[in-house]
A and B are shown apart, each in its own frame.
Chain A
């Protein structure tokens, strides 16, 4: 158990101060297990060790989350994301508004939370993985802050704006609101989908933090990867967002069920495994000694 916990924690992107506190707590745990004279004492030490690791990890995450260093110098990038989201919202709203005779700006504004949700994971990855030398690296605290933002967005803002938009669209068709439409996701399905999305955001931020530490994208070549990232994500978006959070649904549509939540959780788990494994890899930088032939 101790080795598994140590393996997982070693792969997470903690800052230097947090890393040292966690490593020292792990060293104490190892020392106590080695010194324990009986099996019962070893078990007790194991429980105490797990609790102490949980405590030091929680304290470290909270401390890193309240440190605003990670979002300094990122204002232009957040501005770029906002501009892209607004352009996408206007582009998707215009045909819908023309066809239904509703205000373009209203539809566009109500579309913004959903588009922001869709843009968030790749935008987070690109923003944080690209890191000039002077910029602070994102940490596990950063990933937690972004997960909370993702939770609020997917759990509250997107359903709220989607309901309003659906009402407007139904009114434009002269339909009676609430009749003939399939019910929204059940509470457990919605919970799975929303928490899955928040975990996906956290996993993306963790991946970005690992790339920023190990091989920061210092040039702009990564821009070429944006279309590829979106192509890869289209099926995920179709599963997780398209059918669960919005879409003008008719009475004949099949129930969505747990599929979106499972898709989000699976993707988040895969990304987190990649991040933790990548984070643990020791990159050895060759020195002049490695090239000497003596």
Chain B
């Protein structure tokens, strides 16, 4: 299962920190995710079923959390990357 770089990063942050707002994801990524593009990526991931969202407060912002499918996709991507690294070393 292939994940785009930004999808990988979002799932990593969400899995480690728990539910987050888009802006928190941008801050946690230390500049690797951009304010203007994070919601485009999150929307695409929600369509794929990797994340789910719910209304977070009165200001219309939404909190995102990974789904079971998203977590499995991240595990598969990490396992794949580990295997590639081992093969490269060998």
Contacts and interface: CB of A to CB of B under 8 A. Distances in A.
Contacts of A23: 60
A27 B36 contact: no
Interface of A: 17-18, 20-25, 27-28, 30-32, 34, 48-49, 51-56, 58-60, 63
A58 B34 CA distance: 13
A27 B35 contact: no
Contacts of A25: 22, 35-36, 39
A30 B21 CA distance: 14
Q: For B21, B22, B40, which residue has the most chain A Cβ atoms within 10 angstroms?
A: B40
Nearest to A23: B60
Given A23-B60, A48-B35, A52-B35, A28 B22 contact: yes
Given A28-B35, A52-B35, A21 B61 contact: no
Interface residues on B, range: 10 to 19
B10 to A, nearest CB: 14
A28 B25 CA distance: 12
Contact of A32 (B23, B36, B40): B23
Nearest to A51: B36
Given A28-B35, A55-B35, 20 more contacts: A20-B39, A20-B43, A23-B60, A24-B62, A25-B36, A25-B39, A27-B59, A28-B22, A31-B23, A31-B61, A49-B35, A51-B36, A52-B34, A55-B37, A56-B37, A56-B39, A56-B40, A58-B36, A59-B37, A60-B40
Interface in B2-31: 21-23
Given A24-B61, A27-B59, A53 B43 contact: no
Interface string B39-55: 11011000100000000
Given A28-B22, A28-B61, A30-B59, A21 B40 contact: yes
B43 A28 contact: no
Nearest to B41: A21
A30 B61 CA distance: 10
A56 to B, nearest CB: 4
Contact of B36 (A17, A31, A52): A52
A25 B60 CA distance: 10
Q: For B22, B34, B42, B43, which residue has the most chain A Cβ atoms within 10 angstroms?
A: B43
A32 B59 CA distance: 11
A58 B35 CA distance: 13
B6 to A, nearest CB: 12
